[in-house]
Amino acid sequence: MTNAKELPQYPEPFWRENIQFPKYPKLEEKIKVDVAIVGGGIVGVTAAYLLAKQNVKVALIDAGNILNGTTGHTTAKISAQHDIIYDEFIKHFGKENAKLYHEAQMEAKEFVAQTTKELNIDCDYEEQDAIIYTNSDDYITQLENEKAAYDELEIENELTETIPLPVPHKKALIMKNQAQFHPLKFLSVLADEAVKNGAQFYENTTAVDVEYNKHPAVITRDGHRVICKFVFVATHFPFYDGKGFYPTRMYAERSYVLAIKSKKSYPGGMYITAEQPTRSLRSVKINGEEAWLVVGDSHKTGQGKSTIEHYEALQNFAEAHIGVEEILYRWSAQDLTTLDKMPYIGRIAESEESVFVATGFRKWGMTNGIIAAKIISDKILGHENRYSGLYSPSRFQADPSLRKFIRNNADVAKHLIKGKLEFTDNNLSSLSSDDATVTRINGKRAGVYKDKEDKLHVVDTTCTHMGCEVEWNSGERTWDCPCHGSRFTYTGEVVEGPAKRPLERIELE
Ligand code: FES
Tens digit of each residue's pLDDT (9 = 90 or more) over 474-505: 888 899 988 888 999 999 999 888 898 999 99
Going by pLDDT thresholds of 50, 70 and 90, the confidence category of residue 85 is very high
Pocket test for ligand 1, best of 414, 484, 494, 501 (most atoms within 8 A of CB): 484
Average pLDDT, the chain: 90
Alpha-carbon distance 51 to 56, whole Å?
5
Query: Given the CA of residue 467, which atom of ligand 1 is nearest to it?
Result: 4
Pocket test for ligand 1, best of 300, 460, 465, 480 (most atoms within 8 A of CB): 465
Alpha-carbon distance 298 to 275, whole Å?
12
Parallel, antiparallel, or unpaired for β 58-61 and 200-202? parallel
Query: For domain 399-509, which CATH number applies: 2.102.10.10, 3.30.70.330, 1.10.510.10, 3.90.550.10?
Result: 2.102.10.10
Position 323 scores a pLDDT of 94
Query: Given the CA of residue 470, which atom of ligand 1 is nearest to it?
Result: 2
Alpha-carbon distance 218 to 175, whole Å?
42
Position 248 scores a pLDDT of 82
Parallel, antiparallel, or unpaired for β 225-227 and 31-32? parallel
Distance of CA 110 to the CA centre of its chain: 21
Distances (CA, A) of 352 to 33, 107, 139, 348, 385: 19, 28, 43, 7, 19
Going by pLDDT thresholds of 50, 70 and 90, the confidence category of residue 36 is very high
498 in contact with ligand 1, CB cutoff 6 A: yes
Distance of CA 2 to the CA centre of its chain: 31
Strands, DSSP E only, in 311-419?
A: 326-338, 344-347, 355-359
466 in contact with ligand 1, CB cutoff 6 A: yes
Alpha-carbon distance 295 to 75, whole Å?
8
Q: Which of 75, 447, 1, 65 is nearest to 271 (CA)?
A: 75
Instruction: Report yes or no: 311 and 329 within 8 Å, Cβ to Cβ.
Output: no
Global pTM value: 0.86
The count of other CB atoms within 10 Å of the CB of residue 176 is 14
494 in contact with ligand 1, CB cutoff 6 A: no
Going by the DSSP 8-state scheme, the letter that residue 398 receives in this structure is I
Residue 420 has pLDDT above 80, yes or no: no
Q: Where are the domains of the chain?
A: 14-74+184-248+341-397, 399-509
Query: Given the CA of residue 484, which atom of ligand 1 is nearest to it?
Result: 3
Position 414 scores a pLDDT of 60
Non-local (6+) Cβ contacts of 398 within 8 A are: none
Q: 95: helix, coil or strand?
A: helix
Query: For domain 14-74+184-248+341-397, which CATH number applies: 2.60.40.1120, 3.50.50.60, 3.80.10.10, 3.40.640.10?
Result: 3.50.50.60
Position 33 scores a pLDDT of 98
Evaluate the CA torsion angle 407, 412, 415, 418 in order and state its sign.
negative
pLDDT in tens, 281-291: 999 999 889 99
Position 1 scores a pLDDT of 38
Going by the DSSP 8-state scheme, the letter that residue 188 receives in this structure is H
Alpha-carbon distance 82 to 108, whole Å?
14
